[in-house]
Amino acid sequence: MKTIIVGAGLCGSLLAVRLAQRGHNVVMYEKRDDMRKASNDSGRSINLALSARGLMALERVGLKKTIVEDCIPMKGRLIHPLGGDTFLSPYSGRDEDYINSVSRSGLNILLLNEAEKLSNVEIKFDYNVTDVDLSKAHIKGIDMGGNEFTDDADLVIGTDGAGSVVRRSMMSQTTKLLFNYSQDFLRHGYKELSILPADGGAFKIEKNVLHIWPRGHFMIIALPNLDGSFTLTMFHPYEGETGFNTLDTKDKVKAMFEKYYSDLLPFIPHYLDEYFENAVGTLGTIKAYPWQAYGKTLIMGDAAHAIVPFYGQGMNASFEDVRVFDDMLDLYGDDYEKVLFNFQESRKENADAIADLAIDNFYEMRDHVDDKAFMLKRKLEMQLEQNYSDYYSKYSLVTFRPELDYNTAMLLGRQQDKLLLGIVEKESSDWNLADVMSQIKNLHTNFNNESRK
């Protein structure tokens, strides 16, 4: 069995490891040069939040333990309100539930190294795939010397990210495949800045949290790196007083930071240089269907479902794709029509669910993390999680319960949110936890009965 993987990013590299472990002959094509030789990360987030779904997939290939050693646990969001005192909003009432800051390139390199250890994996860097003959599992492209190349396999899997060429080949057969596609850009973009380590590699601000400076319609977040630095990401609109298009001179940028982020300024003396050196990235949601064609070609990861980064789940969902694909191979063996079709059917509604949750979280992180009803609901959720082992908030269902699919986590989580918001609106403290929990249990019973119908 020969499988061509297009794109050696996070999803493709993990997939290559898993398929090779199963005995496939894998040839992976990557349009960029080998990231182990050169840094080609410009404009991308340089660290990511890795959580239970991603870890479960990494465990499948035997790499969870190794990767966790290179992670920094983040136990909650440390909120820096404008003009107020910082406060911690834990991710969960359970100590064992936290997310991890991991280096994007570190993780990708580790996966590439693991893939290359396997004799049945070949990785071709600087090979730009330009077209796929979907029913024949045949690819065409251009190599680094400008020469055309072709290759054939039993199966082609496109893990070539949000701008996927494999997906574009599917789109060229729109009517035949009844191919649906949507792309929604946010009117916000992102730009990365950094806090450098203190002398000796110490962290200048709290290490084990995800920092947020929420400012209503825009915000900055920060994730820690192993060397003591932090990667800051500005999520700002393109237009308006604080928009990237408006902030085009040093004076304007300085005035904006002094007005909205004065508490951050002592930690980022070099921010003006970085602001003008680093590009603005776009943020969008891509939905497509179908994900497979003729039992021969498949897309997964961002190629099938690019989402905005506000739930920290894009990579986790892409890794989960690999685990579910592996489950489908267990279930349907060499019947690739069934493997591809059932993978697509089981993943599509879950990819749509996490896409919608990620948009919801954009508004929550930006506008609500420091609002009163939201903070009261979080307080009640914490108390429930601390006292009841079977209670999980919506965030915890999505982030810490990888055995539940995203769609179930979303539907159940939204119903719980509605119930808890109703409770905190009536009573702002001294909740009767036993009573709240019994209402949650009723909600679960109804939810399970409805799902069975």
Ligand X SMILES: Cc1cc2nc3c(=O)[nH]c(=O)nc-3n(C[C@H](O)[C@H](O)[C@H](O)COP(=O)(O)OP(=O)(O)OC[C@H]3O[C@@H](n4cnc5c(N)ncnc54)[C@H](O)[C@@H]3O)c2cc1C
- Segment lying near ligand X (by CB under 6 A), choices 78-86, 169-177, 297-305, 384-392: 297-305
290 binds ligand X per the rule CB under 6 A: no
Pick from 159, 242, 344, 408: which binds ligand X (CB under 6 A)?
A: 159
The interface mask with ligand X, positions 202-241, x = CB under 6 A, is -------------------------------x--------
Interacting residue with ligand X among 2, 22, 32, 338 (CB under 6 A): 32
Whole-number Å distance between alpha carbons of 238 and 247: 9
Task: Name the residue nearer to ligand X (CB basis): 12 or 93.
Answer: 12
Read off the tokens for 373.
Answer: 């009803």
Write out the binding residues for ligand X, residues 44-103 only, by CB under 6 A. Answer: 45, 48-49
Other C-beta atoms lying within 10 Å of the C-beta of residue 381: 24
Extract the runs of DSSP E, i.e. beta strands, from 204-357. 210-214, 219-224, 230-237, 281-289, 292-293, 297-299
Single-letter amino acid code for the residue at 137: A
Smallest gap from Cβ 305 to ligand X, in A, equals 9
Contact between 31 and ligand X per CB under 6 A? yes
How many amino acids of this chain bind ligand X (CB under 6 A)? 33
Q: Are the C-beta atoms of 364 and 412 separated by less than 8 Å?
A: no
7 vs 243, beta carbon nearer ligand X: 7
Nearest to 99 by CA among 91, 111, 87, 107: 91
User: Toward ligand X, which CB reaches closer, 45 or 246?
Assistant: 45
Give SS3 for 231: strand
Distance from C-alpha of 261 to C-alpha of 46, rounded to nearest angstrom: 22
Residue 316: CB atoms within 10 Å = 27
CB of 296 to ligand X, least distance (A): 18
Choose the binding region for ligand X from 4-12, 172-180, 253-261, 285-293 (rule: CB under 6 A): 4-12
Q: Report the C-alpha gap between 190 and 365 in whole angstroms.
A: 15
Q: Is there binding between residue 129 and ligand X (CB under 6 A)?
A: yes
Q: Which stretch binds ligand X (CB under 6 A): 79-87, 172-180, 310-318, 336-344?
A: 310-318
Give the 3-state DSSP-derived string for 192-223, with helices as H, strands as E and coil as C. EEEECCCHHHCCCCCCCCEEEEECCCCEEEEE
Using CB under 6 A as the criterion, which residues of the chain lie in contact with ligand X when the complex forms?
6-12, 29-32, 45, 48-49, 128-129, 159-161, 165, 190, 233, 281, 301-303, 309, 312-316, 318
